């Protein structure tokens, strides 16, 4: 009922514009495809699905015009819904299937792979019931994938992920947070070998990831912009040094609870700024301001000392410790409380020169 009311409301709004353009539309069946798609752009995804069942003409129009859809609102029977919609919406480029409670099974993902060959973005996060069958199906049916979120999917193996990366070589964003069985050094070597366009990778709490895997990423994915290694307790300075030397466009790095990280890693990152400065200056001076770390989480990295972290902070002016702009996260490191960003230095410099308050 609510979906129908939303559709009618959007129809009435657009009739105002239609009247101004001398369009003769009095019933739903008279709505041109272009106007129908415009109406549907104003309503939620549930209403779009309702509209696709009005008549064959509407179903065909929506199936050709709909490129983005989210079913995350579906709290029950998402699997059946996907099975019924996948053959209809074959032009989908982005599909959101995030779940609060696991609903999806492999047959639903196989249906997506069988019909939605233009899919570029897919969110399967928290799909606990999925197995390797799903990844193998996506590898074959959706080679155009650019963005994939399988965080919390504990049923995938590193072998299946490796196969996927060999077929989906355009991947730029991959979320593997909590995928302990999936994200191993073996899988990261496959990503580094196959996915050279990778820009954002989340490996949070994948505690089987080690230096060999991260180094493979650093060598194979030089365009990495964001890498989350929070909770990857096996990695050492060698991982960070490899990233600093090879991923010069890195903007965000998460090292929370990576307690094997020492000052050597911080100094290597600071030195990468100098190296990047020379490289960028030679090609395009203005780009230098756009490069460098803007977010770094070293919370609970208790082996770090203030001089090393301060050197890093000085090298990257976009790393902030000041209130309201925290982008250098050092919580749990009580010995780093003296570290300050450029903003704090400027405020401290100005304070002695401030005008004294005059009593009245």
What is d(CA 225, CA 155) in angstroms, rounded to the nearest whole number?
28
Is the same domain home to 147 and 247?
yes
Higher pLDDT, residue 288 or 82: 82
Percent of the chain residues past pLDDT 70, beyond the cut = 82
Please give the Cα distance from 6 to 320 (Å, whole number): 45
Residue 337 lies in a domain: no
pLDDT, residue 356, reads: 52
pLDDT (average), residues 123-149? 98
Q: What is the DSSP secondary structure assignment for residue 336, as one 8-state letter?
A: G
Mean pLDDT score of the chain: 88
Query: By residue range, what is the domain housing residue 188?
Result: 63-332
Residue 9 lies in a domain: yes
What pLDDT shows up at residue 183?
Answer: 98
**What pLDDT score was predicted for residue 15?**
47
Q: Distances in Å between the alpha carbon of 275 and those of 196, 246, 269?
A: 22, 10, 10
In angstroms, the CA 154 to CA 228 distance is 18
Spatial neighbors of 137 by CB under 8 A, at least 6 apart, are 106, 109, 110, 112, 113, 114
Give dist(CA 71, CA 52) in Å, integer: 15
- Co-location of 90 and 238 in the same domain: yes
Domain count, the chain: 2
Mark whether 48 and 173 lie in a shared domain: no
Same domain membership, residue 191 and residue 180: yes
Is the confidence at residue 87, as pLDDT, over 60? yes
Does some domain include residue 81?
yes
Residue 269 makes CB contacts below 8 A (sequence gap 6+) with 240, 243, 244, 253, 293, 312, 315, 316
Instruction: Report residue 21's pLDDT band, with 50, 70 and 90 as the boundaries.
Output: very low
Decide which of 320 and 279 is more confident: 320
Give the CATH number of the domain where residue 90 resides: 3.80.10.10
Task: Tell me the mean pLDDT in the region 270-286.
Answer: 63
Q: Examine the domain organization and report whether 73 and 145 are in the same domain.
A: yes
* Domain final residue, candidates 16, 36, 62: 62
C-alpha distances in Å from residue 303, one per residue of 257, 319, 332, 334: 11, 20, 11, 11
Instruction: Indicate if 265 and 281 belong to the same structural domain.
Output: yes
Predicted pLDDT at 4: 53
Is position 359 within any domain?
Answer: no
User: For residue 34, is pLDDT > 60?
Assistant: yes
Own/partner contacts of 58-63, CB < 8 Å, gap of 24 or more, are 59/88, 61/33, 61/36, 61/37, 62/36, 62/37, 62/88, 62/89, 63/88, 63/89, 63/90, 63/91
Same domain for 117 and 145? Answer: yes
- Residue whose entry in the numeric block shows the structure tokens 């492999």: 106
Say whether both 204 and 114 belong to one domain: yes
Q: Is residue 200 part of a domain?
A: yes
CB neighbours of residue 338 within 10 Å: 9
pLDDT attached to residue 349:
55
Out of 13-27, 220-234, 268-282, 333-347, pick the least confident: 13-27
Clarify whether residues 121 and 220 are in a common domain.
yes
Rg of the Cα trace of the chain?
A: 25
In a domain, 341, yes or no: no
Instruction: Indicate the pLDDT class of residue 27, thresholds 50, 70 and 90.
Output: low
C-alpha to C-alpha distance for 35 and 28, rounded to whole angstroms? 11
**pLDDT of res. 199:** 98
255-to-103, 104, 203 alpha-carbon distances in Å: 33, 32, 10
Does 227 lie in the same domain as 294? yes
| 290 shares its domain with 234 | yes
Confirm whether 280 is domain-assigned.
yes
Quote the pLDDT of residue 24. 59
Same domain, 51 and 73: no
- Residue 297 in domain: yes
């Amino acid at each position: 009922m609510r979906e129908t009311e939303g559709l009618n409301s959007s129809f009435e709004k657009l009739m105002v514009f239609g009247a101004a353009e001398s369009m003769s539309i009095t019933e739903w069946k008279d709505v041109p495809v272009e106007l129908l798609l415009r109406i549907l752009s104003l309503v939620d995804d549930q209403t779009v699905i309702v509209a696709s069942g009005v008549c064959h003409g509407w179903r065909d129009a929506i199936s050709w015009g709909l490129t983005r859809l989210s079913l995350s609102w579906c709290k029950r029977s998402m699997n059946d819904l996907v099975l019924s919609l996948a053959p209809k919406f074959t032009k989908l480029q982005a599909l959101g299937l995030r779940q609060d409670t696991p609903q999806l099974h492999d047959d639903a993902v196989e249906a997506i792979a069988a019909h939605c060959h233009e899919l570029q973005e897919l969110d399967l996060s928290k799909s606990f019931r999925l197995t390797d069958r799903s990844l193998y199906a996506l590898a074959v049916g959706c080679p155009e994938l650019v963005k994939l979120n399988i965080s919390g999917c504990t049923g995938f193996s590193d072998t299946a992920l490796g196969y996927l990366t060999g077929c989906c070589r355009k991947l730029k964003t991959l979320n593997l947070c909590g995928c302990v069985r999936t994200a191993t050094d073996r899988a990261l070597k496959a990503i580094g070998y196959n996915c050279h366009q990778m820009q954002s990778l989340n490996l949070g709490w994948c505690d089987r990831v080690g230096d060999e895997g991260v180094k493979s990423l650093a060598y194979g994915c030089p365009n990495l912009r964001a890498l989350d290694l929070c909770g990857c307790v096996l990695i050492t300075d060698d991982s960070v040094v490899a990233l600093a030397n090879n991923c010069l466009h890195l903007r965000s790095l998460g090292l929370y609870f990576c307690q094997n990280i020492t000052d050597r890693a911080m100094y290597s990152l600071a030195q990468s700024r100098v190296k990047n400065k020379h490289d960028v200056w030679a090609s395009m001076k203005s780009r230098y301001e756009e490069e460098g770390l803007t977010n770094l989480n070293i919370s609970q990295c208790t082996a770090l000392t203030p001089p090393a972290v301060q050197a890093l902070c000085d090298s990257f002016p976009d790393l902030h410790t000041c209130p309201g702009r925290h982008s250098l996260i050092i919580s749990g490191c009580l010995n780093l409380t003296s570290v300050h960003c450029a903003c704090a230095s400027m405020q401290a410099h100005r304070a002695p020169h401030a005008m004294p308050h005059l009593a009245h």
